[in-house]
Amino acid sequence: MDRIELIAPCHFGLEAILKKEIQDLGYEISIVEDGRVSFYGDVAAICRANVFLRTAERVLLKAGSFKAETFDELFEKTKQIPWETYIPKNGKFWVVKAASVKSKLFSPSDIQSIMKKAMVNRMKDHYHVDWFDEDGAAYPVRVFLKKDVVTVGIDTSGTSLHKRGYRQYQSKAPITETLAAALIMLTPWTKNRILVDPFCGSGTFPIEAAMIAANIAPGMNRSFTAEEWTNYIPKKAWYDAVNEANEKVDMDVDVDIQGYDVDDEVIRAARKNAEAAGVEELIHFQQRAVKDLRHPKKYGFVITNPPYGERLEEKEALPALYAEFGESFRNLDSWSAYMITSFEETERYFGRKADKNRKIYNGMIKTYFYQFMGPKPPRAKKLLEEQVAKS
């Protein structure tokens, strides 16, 4: 089957995680840019990327790329793209989004309108019609302009990939599923290590960790826009991707993943979300305040999204909350802690300077991913000797 190029947008700063995911699926990277990774594959790659990628926001089929400094250039070069290769006569097509950075063409509405006209022009010539009913499958187009270079992609995902389908209940300041998965994958955590989230909210960190541990593909139980593209993607390619995902699931995995929250209602919601994700048996949720954070075992991980304090009265409570968190963590001998927060005085009140700190935008909020590293565990044999000596 012909080689195509796909574009996978992601959170800024987390491109390396997505790049590795794509390579692990067996695809060749074409370019890594701020906020997106492009790669080569066949038509089946559209299905596999949507089903398996944990950290991509969506998967776009690259239709073309060209330089345009005027609207005339934009029209003519958009018209040169072979739209009929992708869109059938009854397809519904429109430019759903246009973004422009450091380009002479910067009006999203004008870009969208002119490109739609160019697409219609091309399709009229090919299909020999003057009017399109557009009552078939949807082919939404997304456009990026950067330094006058126009990149055109057809959205194969539809609803953003962070919507796995399990989060029916959410807390006040939820972290997206794709960002949670990427942050977990940034840490050295593996399924044989303990993971605790003391501010679990709707349960996103524990649920994503459990899905990683059990090898559950994030897109297994949702639908995608391109499933209706029967003119371009055989239905069998979707069935094959889902069958491959089902074969990889390991629900017998032995894990210790825990989620705590001070609000009992929030914990009930987290349990329902875990049940919807099919991982409720792999996570222990419990109503517990951060001051009561403790665990008897060594070399565990805390990965969490503590309150930021978006309202004034919440901000006033943050110093005490982060101080309690820091005090509890100091009693977890040999553990590591990773937290994403916009609270600027995190290190001061947590009581320790982070070993690493990474700026990440959570939506429009500038946050930091603080990384407090504990010691590496001894090799399994040495650890067993220590346990035997203590018993």
Per residue in 80-95, pLDDT tens?
999 999 999 999 999 9
| Cα distance between the two ends of the chain | 61
Residues 118 and 24 in one domain: yes
In a domain? residue 166: no
In a domain? residue 131: yes
In a domain? residue 249: yes
In a domain? residue 171: no
- CA dist 283 to 200, 258, 270, Å? 11, 6, 10
* pTM of structure: 0.93
Q: Is the pLDDT of residue 381 over 80?
A: no
Domain that holds residue 25: 4-155
- CA dist 223 to 47, 60, 179, 242, Å? 11, 15, 20, 11
Residues 98 and 195 in one domain: no
Residues 285 and 355 in one domain: yes
Predicted confidence band of residue 2 (pLDDT cuts 50, 70, 90): confident
Nearest in space to 295 (alpha carbons), one of 324, 267, 325, 329: 329
Q: What is the arrangement of strands in the sheet containing 356-362, beginning at the earlier edge strand?
A: 283-287, 257-261, 195-197, 301-304, 336-341, 365-372, 356-362
For range 50-55, the mean pLDDT:
98
Residues 185 and 136 in one domain: no
Domain end: 99, 125, 155, which one? 155
Q: How many CA atoms lie within 13 A of 365 on its CB side?
A: 17
Domain end: 108, 124, 155, which one? 155
Q: What is the three-class DSSP state of 308?
A: coil
Q: How many CA atoms lie within 13 A of 46 on its CB side?
A: 31
- Write the CATH number for 19: 3.30.2130.30
Residues 148 and 195 in one domain: no
In a domain? residue 282: yes
Q: Is the pLDDT of residue 49 over 90?
A: yes
Domain count, the chain: 2
Residues 279 and 355 in one domain: yes
Pairing mode of beta strands 149-155, 356-362: unpaired
Predicted confidence band of residue 390 (pLDDT cuts 50, 70, 90): low
Residues 63 and 212 in one domain: no
Spatial distance between the Cα atoms of 290 and 184, rounded to a whole number of angstroms: 20
Residues 149 and 185 in one domain: no
Residues 150 and 49 in one domain: yes
Q: Is the pLDDT of residue 312 over 80?
A: no
Reading the block at residue 41, the tokens are 């594959």
Residues 9 and 135 in one domain: yes
Q: How many CA atoms lie within 13 A of 66 on its CB side?
A: 16
Residues 267 and 134 in one domain: no
In a domain? residue 161: no
